[in-house]
Amino acid sequence: MLVWNPEGADARVWAQLREHFSDEEIVELGQFVQLTYGQQRVIKTWGVGHGELLADTTAGLAPTKVER
């Protein structure tokens, strides 16, 4: 909602968010949304497909579990 219709974030939405999250957590969620949305816009603008950019690296990936 905040990305597609910011005006839709009325008092009811904020009250519902505060039932589950602190103000600090709401800010953190907002930051995550803006970062992720911005990244997706850049990827779309560049026309990058899934796995195309830095496909030969493990940058940004969680380490794989080593079987013992």
Tell me: the pLDDT tens digits for 18-42? 999 999 999 999 899 889 888 888 8
Q: According to DSSP H, which parts of 1-68 are helical? A: 11-20, 23-46
Q: What distance in Å separates the CA atoms of residue 8 and residue 4, rounded to the nearest whole number?
A: 9
Domain ranges of the chain: 23-48
Mean pLDDT of the chain: 83
> At which residue do the structure tokens 């995550």 appear?
32
Helix 11-20 vs helix 23-46: angle between axes, to the nearest 10 degrees? 110
**Model-wide pTM > 0.85:** no
Task: Name the CA radius of gyration of the chain, rounded.
Answer: 17
Query: Cα 16 to the chain's mean position, in Å?
Result: 20
